[in-house]
Structure 1
Amino acid sequence: MNASAARPAAFVMVSTAHGSMLVNRFDYRLTPGGGFGVGYQLLTRSAFDPDEVDIALRLLETRRKHFGDGVVAIDCGANIGVHTIEWSALMQGWGEVIAIEAQERVFYALAGNITLNNCLNARALWAAVGAQDGHIRVPKPNYLVPSSFGSLEIRQRDSTEYIGQEIDYSDAATIETKLVSIDGMALPRLDLIKIDIEGMEIEALTGAAASLRQFRPQLMIEKIKSNETELRAFVTELGYQVFPMGLNLLAIHGSDPALGQISCG
């Protein structure tokens, strides 16, 4: 081997509770309150947000029970694919997963983890989710610098979170990436949408309005970087009831038979 060609390894193979996964060993941020990041949880606990994952699995089971086989779930902001892998394994033979990730290098790990775990009922899309179809410029962090890469915000704000490194939002430091709307996907069925896209949640909901009216899917929406009042108002107007779920909101349509089974805080 040519020593001058040596380079540090960011992504490593890790045995986790979700299966073997490609994980960036630098995917963490340490603060006085503790560490966080998808990689941090997988490398220190072998699992990522198990309670949240379990709730999603139970929701998918209710959709099969009440609406039959053919369940379709979208993982918006799939990161390296913990939810995607778990959903795919559960729904083998009766459902499918569409996993969407905007960061190119993270997307490669997502696709690898889908293949590695034989998730033949899942597919990955390299894209951001928004209010309309088009393109958006996505920052390119240094994946060798310890940072919470899942916390990266595509759209810069006055209060943009510091993920462990400064992010350059100039055109020269970003990459043009496909922007998709859920309505634009023209799906024949839709049962569950998880939206964890660092402040762009309301944009994703706006771009899914027709699908929400038609299919009334269950929704798991991260709220920590969005206006919770705005999120609640949007889905309530469409007939949903909203429940707190940790850092997320769980929204179930008033017509969904699963509504009577909801209990979370």
Structure 2
Amino acid sequence: MRDDIKSDPSTPKAMDDRSLAYPHGVLLKRCEEAWMHYRPNDLVIGRALDCHGHYSPGEIRLFRSIVDRGDTVVEAGAGIGSLTIPLANSVGQSGTAYAFEPNSDSFDLLCRNLEANEVHNVIADHRALGATCEIRIIEVKDVSRPNNFGDTSLRLNGSGQTVALMTIDSLHLNRCDFVKADVQGMERDILLGAAETLSRFRPILYLENDQRELSRPLLATLEALGYDSYGTYREFANSFQPT
């Protein structure tokens, strides 16, 4: 076994009882940005961390160029924290990062990674962000089988796990400097639920826009909110892909 890998999902400093609560091969590895707990059978983030020790370094460089010390950032779809921790490092102890992740398994790993790296300026929230405050259903994937565990969507009904939906406006933030949303087509909903916050603070927005049928409504909403839209090159998103 490589020196940078531990098969037991404990923190790098000490083990605790929760280290036995992660089945199906969670690994702990010292990656470029942080210690990371991840599932190597995750076909995107986990595989990138396992093969290369980093995930989407182009996006991390972009965030560092626009996020400053003392900023308040909101991240919708934090996953296991592979971009949350770099954002937290960028805002520093004088800043705050709000990390929302409704997927239970991902949220568990997110909290584990924050603890492992002694990150204290992140408020992790096991809810989803959207246009209204309500209850939705999130699909539950079998973590024992290879899959893209970050690609989970919310729906109004059907089988799955219930999750609470809330709005950014309901946070009543004292400041907001940056909003990142990667939420499988719900980016426009998040904007609609943040209209007051966006009007008051005018944060920089970084939104996934990869669904053709949803792209035009998303861009129209941004324009109505007074925002100009710019696209990033695909290498920002694809730079993590293993070869």
Normalising by structure 2, report the TM-score.
0.83
**Equivalent residue number for residue 138 of structure 1:** 138
Aligned to 2:146, what secondary structure does the other structure show? coil
Q: Measure, in 2, the Cα distance between the counterparts of 1:145 and 1:25.
A: 10
1:88-237 alignment to 2 at 5 Å? 88-155=88-155, 170-171=158-159, 174-225=160-211, 227-237=214-224
Q: Which has the higher contact order (CA 8 A, sep 6+)?
A: 2
What code does the residue aligned with 2:51 have? Answer: T
Q: Measure, in 1, the Cα distance between the counterparts of 2:149 and 2:155.
A: 14
The alpha-carbon deviation at position 248 of structure 1 amounts to 11
4+ runs of 1 displaced by more than 6 Å? none
Q: Measure, in 1, the Cα distance between the counterparts of 2:184 and 2:51.
A: 23
Query: Which of 48, 53, 56 does residue 46 from structure 1 map onto?
Result: 53
Aligned to 1:151, what secondary structure does the other structure show? coil
Moved more, 193-202 or 225-234: 225-234
What do the CA deviations read for 1:105-126 (whole angstroms, capped 9, x no partner)?
A: 1100001111111111111000
The alpha-carbon deviation at position 93 of structure 1 amounts to 2.7
| Shift in alpha-carbon separation, 1:131–1:12, aligned structure 2, 3 A | same
What do the CA deviations read for 1:69-88 (whole angstroms, capped 9, x no partner)?
A: 4x100111000001110111
Q: Which runs of 5+ in 1 are unaligned?
A: 1-6, 29-36, 157-168, 250-265
Aligned to 1:75, what secondary structure does the other structure show? strand
The alpha-carbon deviation at position 54 of structure 1 amounts to 1.2
Moved more, 209-218 or 10-19: 10-19
Q: Which structure is higher in strand share? A: 1
RMSD: 2.0
1:23-102 alignment to 2 at 5 Å? 23-28=38-43, 37-61=44-68, 69=70, 71-102=71-102
The alpha-carbon deviation at position 8 of structure 1 amounts to 5.4
Moved more, 228-237 or 179-188: 228-237
Aligned to 1:194, what secondary structure does the other structure show? strand
The alpha-carbon deviation at position 192 of structure 1 amounts to 0.4
The alpha-carbon deviation at position 19 of structure 1 amounts to 0.9
What code does the residue aligned with 1:170 have? Answer: G
Q: Which runs of 5+ in 2 are unaligned?
A: 1-21, 237-243
What code does the residue aligned with 2:97 have? Answer: V
Contact 1:193 1:220 survives alignment (8 Å): yes
The alpha-carbon deviation at position 236 of structure 1 amounts to 1.5
Contact 1:76 1:195 survives alignment (8 Å): yes
What do the CA deviations read for 1:84-139 (whole angstroms, capped 9, x no partner)?
A: 10111222232110100010111000011111111111110001111011211111
Normalising by structure 1, report the TM-score.
0.76
Contact 2:76 2:183 survives alignment (8 Å): yes
Fraction of identical pairs, as percent = 26
